[in-house]
A and B are shown apart, each in its own frame.
Chain A
Amino acid sequence: MINRLRELRTARGWSQGELAERLGVSRQTVNAIETEKYDPSLPLAFTIAGLFTLAIEDIFRPNGSGAAPVAARPPDRGFID
């Protein structure tokens, strides 16, 4: 999943910590979403979309062509990485 969270946040002049406070999550979570290490849950995605008054698909979209895969699966990850 790729997202525009960093772009939207910096456009408002917010730090990661400020955005985290507004969303009720940790700064680590905001950073992990921005760097695409972590995909947020659906409730958090809705909260983010609500905060920026945008639709979820205006902020998040799947990697690749843009069409959502029929069966999304988490990225392959090594045992320790």
Chain B
Amino acid sequence: MNDCSDAYTPRDTRNLRIFNVWAISAAVMFVAATILISRGIVARGPLAWILAIANLLLTLLAVRAYMVFLRAADELLRRIQLEGLALGFGAGAVFMLSYRLFERLGALKLDSADPFVVMAIFWAIGQYIGLRRYAPGMER
């Protein structure tokens, strides 16, 4: 029986947990700020600016936490992450460059943040492929 924890050292687990906390906080803040501002629950003014800046800061903290995680990561895990990032970035780039043409042809107009969803999904798929490729067997 193998599990995901085999891929992480205790330091990786700790750094990944910190990244997850910031990433989830940033995601919640993004959704909340978007709803509050776009639906007019918070009037455009100082409070709306505070929400937008708070979202920016949380996102930057998540990026910083990921950089710390990646730089300190076990070397095979870093390789798996790099492959995941490459697939995510590639898929995001292909999507952004090609979908613009489809939009001009009448396809559904997308929000500028939507390509991030494509990148995130393919980043996750890339990590899954990498983890599966190097998955250890039964031996402990």
Contact = CB atoms under 8 A, between A and B. Distances in A.
Chain B's interface size range is 10 to 19
A26 B7 CA distance: 6
Question: In this complex, which of B8, B79, B136, B139 has the most chain A Cβ atoms within 10 angstroms of its Cβ?
Answer: B136
Contacts of A20: 9
Nearest to B129: A80
Contact of B75 (A27, A35, A41): A41
Contacts of B129: 80
Contact of A25 (B9, B79, B131, B133): B9
B129 to A, nearest CB: 6
Given A37-B133, A38-B134, A28 B7 contact: yes
A38 B76 contact: yes
B139 A26 contact: no
Interface residues of A, number: 21
A16 B139 CA distance: 7
Contacts of A30: 136
Nearest to B76: A29
Interface in B119-140: 129, 131, 133-137, 139-140
